[in-house]
């Protein structure tokens, strides 16, 4: 494993975007681990918004050792598990409500380093304003988000794409992972 140069991320806001299974979560996990090993654990909040792995997609971050504030909830994968568009929309709305509670907790913790796994799950049923505000308050952000064509067009997918474009403007560096 190649060592991660955390100086590339400290004081910046970086997001990795790409298709399913292109390495976004693995890269984010390596950076999180490097930050923890460098002694930043007590300054880190992790928002793990990913569902458990479903059909090879998704998956939570491995939680490194240290006093990291690790916030997660039971999150569904609407497009991979729902049988109808209405069911997918209902799952996405339930996800957004659960994630709103996590964001509230992250605001309370007010730690300067924010790591976000799978930001787009929130954007499926939320405009994303609270998440963008949280990103703006952190001095260092490392995040990942889905952007691709793996899913059929739907209202949920179209909204997620639109809101993801807006989210990306909150970052200094967008790294495309085909």
Residue 28 inside a domain? The answer is yes
Q: CB within 8 A of 52, min separation 6: which ones?
A: 58, 59, 60
| Separation CA 169–CA 172 (nearest Å) | 8
In terms of residue numbers, what domain contains 63? 6-177
User: For residue 79, is it within any domain?
Assistant: yes
Q: What is the pLDDT of residues 78-133, one digit of tens each?
A: 978 789 999 999 999 999 999 999 999 999 999 999 999 999 999 999 999 999 99
Tell me what pLDDT residue 128 has: 95
Cβ–Cβ < 8 Å for 154, 84:
no
In a domain? residue 1: no
- Looking up residue 110, the CATH number of its domain turns out to be 3.40.50.300
The total number of structural domains that make up the chain: 1
Residue 88: CB atoms within 10 Å: 24
Tokens at residue 71, please?
Answer: 């916030």
Q: Label residue 70 by pLDDT band (50, 70, 90).
A: very high
Of 47, 69, 46, residue with least CA distance to 121: 47
């Amino acid at each position: 494993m190649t060592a991660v140069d955390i100086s590339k991320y400290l004081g910046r806001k970086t997001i990795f975007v790409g298709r399913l299974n292109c390495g976004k979560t693995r890269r984010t996990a390596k950076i999180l681990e490097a930050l923890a090993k460098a002694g930043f654990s007590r300054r880190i909040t992790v928002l793990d918004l990913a569902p458990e792995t479903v059909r090879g997609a998704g998956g939570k971050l491995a939680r490194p050792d240290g006093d990291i504030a690790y916030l997660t909830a039971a999150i569904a994968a609407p497009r991979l598990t729902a049988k109808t568009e209405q069911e997918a929309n209902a799952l996405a709305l339930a996800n957004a409500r659960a994630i709103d509670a996590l964001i509230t907790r992250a605001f309370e913790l007010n730690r300067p380093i924010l790591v976000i796994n799978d930001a787009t799950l929130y954007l499926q049923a939320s405009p994303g304003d609270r998440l963008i505000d949280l990103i703006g308050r952190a001095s260092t952000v490392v995040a990942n988000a889905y952007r691709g064509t793996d899913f059929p067009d739907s209202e949920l997918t179209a909204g997620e794409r639109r809101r993801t474009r807006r989210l990306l403007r909150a970052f200094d560096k967008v790294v495309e992972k085909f």
